[in-house]
Amino acid sequence: MRVTILLFCLIFLGACKEDYKRPTDVSKIVIEEVFVDSTLSIRALDFNDEYIFYGSADHIGKQALNAAYKINLNDLNVSNGKNHFKHILNYEEKSLHFRAIKEVNGSLFAISIENPARLYKLSRKAKNPKLVYEENHEKAFYDSIDFWNDQEGIAIGDPTEDCMSIIITRDGGNTWGKLSCDNLPKAKEGEAAFAASDTNIAIVGDHTWLATGGMVSRILYSSDKGKTWAVFETPIVQGKATTGMYSIDFYDEKKGFAIGGDYTKPNDTLNNKIRTIDGGKTWQVVANAKGPGYRSCVQYIPNRNGKELVVVGFKGIDYSKDSGDSWTHLSDEGFYTIRFLNDSTAYAAGKGRISKLTFR
Greatest Cα pair distance in the chain: 71
Q: What angle do CA 267, 330, 257 make, to 5 degrees?
A: 65
Burial label for 23, CB within 10 Å (0-12, 13-18, 19+), is exposed
Tell me the C-alpha distance between 233 and 131, whole Å: 36
Residue 197 in any domain: the answer is yes
**Per-residue pLDDT, 66:** 76
User: What pairing do the DSSP bridges indicate for beta strands 98-104 and 90-91?
Assistant: unpaired
Tell me the C-alpha distance between 87 and 75, whole Å: 7
Residue 9 in any domain: the answer is no
Residue 16 in any domain: the answer is no
Residue 7 in any domain: the answer is no
Residue 11 in any domain: the answer is no
Q: pTM for this one?
A: 0.90
Q: Tens-digit pLDDT profile for the chain (360 aa)?
A: 433 333 334 333 444 433 446 667 999 999 999 999 999 999 999 999 989 999 998 899 999 887 544 444 434 443 444 577 788 899 988 899 999 999 999 999 999 999 999 999 999 877 788 999 999 999 999 999 999 999 999 999 999 999 999 999 999 999 999 999 999 999 999 999 999 999 999 999 999 999 999 999 999 999 999 999 999 999 999 999 999 999 999 999 999 999 999 999 999 999 999 999 999 999 999 999 999 999 999 999 999 999 999 999 999 999 999 999 999 999 999 999 999 999 999 999 999 999 999 999
Contact at 8 Å (CB) between 181 and 199? Answer: no
Which CATH number covers residue 338?
A: 2.130.10.10
Query: How many domains are there within the chain?
Result: 1
Residue 263 in any domain: the answer is yes
**Per-residue pLDDT, 93:** 83
Q: Which domain holds residue 207?
A: 25-359
Tell me the C-alpha distance between 334 and 31, whole Å: 11
Q: What angle do CA 294, 97, 194 make, to 5 degrees?
A: 30
Q: Which residues contact 13 (CB under 8 A, 6 or more apart)?
A: none
CB environment 1-15: b (16+ within 10 A), e (fewer) = eeeeeeeeeeeeeee
Residue 99 in any domain: the answer is yes
Residue 6 in any domain: the answer is no
